[in-house]
Copies of this chain bind each other. A is one copy, B any other.
Amino acid sequence: MYHELLTDMYEFSMANGYFQTLPHNKQARFDVFYRNVPDHGSFVVSAGLMQALDEIKHWHFTADDIAYLRSLKHFSADFLDYLEHTKNQCTVKAIPEGTPVMPQEPILSISGPLMEVQLLETLVLNIINHQSLIATKAWQITNAADGRAVMEFGARRAQGPDAATYGARAAIIGGCSSTSNVLAAKLFHVPAVGTMAHAWIESFPDELTAFRAWAKIYPDTAALLVDTYDVVNSGVPNAIKVFKELRAAGHEPVGIRIDSGDITQLAKKARKMLDDAGFPNAKITASNALDAHIVKALLEDGAPLDNFGIGERLITSSSSPVLSGVYKMSELENNGKWEPKIKISNSREKITLPGNKQVYRLYKKDEPSKAFADVIALNDEQIGDTISAVNADVYATHDKVELKDFVAKPLLSEILTPDHEKDIETDTFAIQKFAHQKVAELPTATKRLVNPDRYPVFLTKNLADLQQKLISEYRNI
């Protein structure tokens, strides 16, 4: 299902207004970017491009959509006739999914007829904001898990079916190994995982019978949930009994899952019991209301955990459940000539960056796997050996700096025009791997869970000057 009507009403009102007022083919450019990182992190793992692009490519209004819009008696008939026969005419530049992106950097830049670029705003933001939010949270959690597998278990607490499904995809981009959500697994070709719920245990006369029934059906994948009654006195001893029976029959058990109680203490006791019984390779999975900080604390506490199953706090990014990405006009065509545009605000950090832009990630010349800064430039600037720049952080000192000894790699590339489409990576684990590599390139101090360093982002002098010129023009109106 496509969502061309998932559009704020004012976008249609404006499009109708543009249609009545301005040349129909007046071109505009809008950039998607964000200002603040969720959970006070230093970067966002971008995600959502695949779905956003799919919506843009297939963007059109059905006869049913048009009939509905007509029923509102708010739009002119000629505008609706135009809409009924239009399809995507936009050009999209984007940073690849999985790239860590910084505040103010355009993640997408969409140009095309003003009316149509305007009508895409809500839907594009909805998708990019949501998936980037969850990919970022997943990165934080998997980073805290320090190499252990993190399974996405949140479908039942996600904010609706799409949040569960596209959220699972974003979670894997951010680093999760798998999801419990079968629909997401099917759509995105990722593993669907899980063990059993307490209901399985309760459907049998006792825990041991329930475990035995499970082991009989899944002898080679038996992971047993041991906290229905009492982890130490019932769950683990019964699991060990069944594991021994399995081994006697030639099968090796997978492990146990603990979903309640004091995870550290229970895991330590369970580990010892499993080891003593001859099952040092049986894995212990924890899955109760976990988040990055809790995962980190459990591991620092020495909890012998092999895997994590993470539910609501991942799939809703509950500690910071909004990524406030925005969609701002940066250029407008006037009589065939592009003019840079700016949004002025009384808040300095809300003033936008004008013009068609490119983002460069700068790597150390002598250590080409280490990124040390990003530079936002005007698209047509030539990047030489030295860049004159100012700090993009509006709260930093705006002294001019000279950047040198770098290798600059552009992050934005054109992936869609009305006539042509460039292949983007759509394999979920390939995007995950790319994200992992790109995050690895960043300075370690930017990746701390608490109070990370800001990653330096600069504006070229040309871009900063253009912004200042437009601010001055507006102030002098």
A18 within 8 A of B: yes
Which among B28, B180, B325, B341 is the interface contact of A9 at CB below 8 angstroms? B180
**Which of the segments A159-167, A240-248, A278-286 contacts the partner chain?**
A159-167
What mask results when residues 1 to 31 of chain A are scored 1 for a CB within 8 Å of chain B, else 0? Answer: 1010111111111101110111000101010
Which chain B residue lies CB-closest to A118? B199
Q: Of residues 105 to 128 in A, which have CB atoms within 8 Å of B's CB atoms?
A: 114, 118, 121-123, 125-127
Which among B193, B218, B221, B329 is the interface contact of A199 at CB below 8 angstroms? B329
Q: Is the CB of B156 within 8 A of A126?
A: yes
What mask results when residues 251 to 285 of chain A are scored 1 for a CB within 8 Å of chain B, else 0? Answer: 00000000011000000000000000000000000
Q: Is the CB of A347 within 8 A of B163?
A: no
Which chain B residue lies CB-closest to A8? B180
Q: Which residues of B contact A156 (CB under 8 A)?
A: 8, 121-122, 125-126, 129, 325, 327
A434 within 8 A of B: no
A214 within 8 A of B: yes
Q: Is the CB of A126 within 8 A of B158?
A: yes
Which chain B residue lies CB-closest to A184? B6
Q: Is the CB of B72 within 8 A of A477?
A: no
**Which of the segments A88-96, A315-323, A422-430 contacts the partner chain?**
A315-323
What mask results when residues 288 to 319 of chain A are scored 1 for a CB within 8 Å of chain B, else 0? Answer: 00000000000000000000000011001110
**Which of the segments A200-208, A393-401, A408-416, A452-460 contacts the partner chain?**
A200-208
Q: Which residues of B contact A229 (CB under 8 A)?
A: 344, 474, 477
Q: Is the CB of A155 within 8 A of B182?
A: no
Q: Which residues of B contact A10 (CB under 8 A)?
A: 180, 194-197
A446 within 8 A of B: no
Give A63 to B257 CA distance when docked, in angstroms: 33
- Quote the shortest CB–CB distance from A122 to chain B (angstroms): 5
Q: Which residues of B contact A8 (CB under 8 A)?
A: 153, 155-156, 180-182, 194
Q: Is the CB of A318 within 8 A of B329?
A: no
A417 within 8 A of B: no
Give A10 to B316 CA distance when docked, in angstroms: 21
Q: Is the CB of B329 within 8 A of A202?
A: yes
Known: A8-B155, A316-B316. 18 other contacts (CB 8 A): A7-B181, A8-B153, A9-B180, A20-B216, A21-B217, A26-B203, A30-B199, A72-B192, A123-B161, A126-B156, A157-B323, A159-B316, A160-B165, A161-B162, A199-B328, A229-B474, A312-B322, A313-B322
Residues of chain A whose beta carbon lies under 8 Å from any beta carbon of chain B: 1, 3, 5-14, 16-18, 20-22, 26, 28, 30, 65, 68-69, 72, 74, 114, 118, 121-123, 125-127, 129-131, 133-134, 153, 155-167, 180-183, 185-186, 192-200, 202-203, 206, 213-214, 216-218, 221, 228-230, 260-261, 312-313, 316-318, 321-325, 327-329, 332, 341, 343-347, 350, 474, 477
Can you give 9 contacting A-B residue pairs, CB < 8 Å? A5-B186, A8-B155, A14-B196, A26-B203, A156-B327, A159-B167, A229-B344, A313-B322, A317-B321
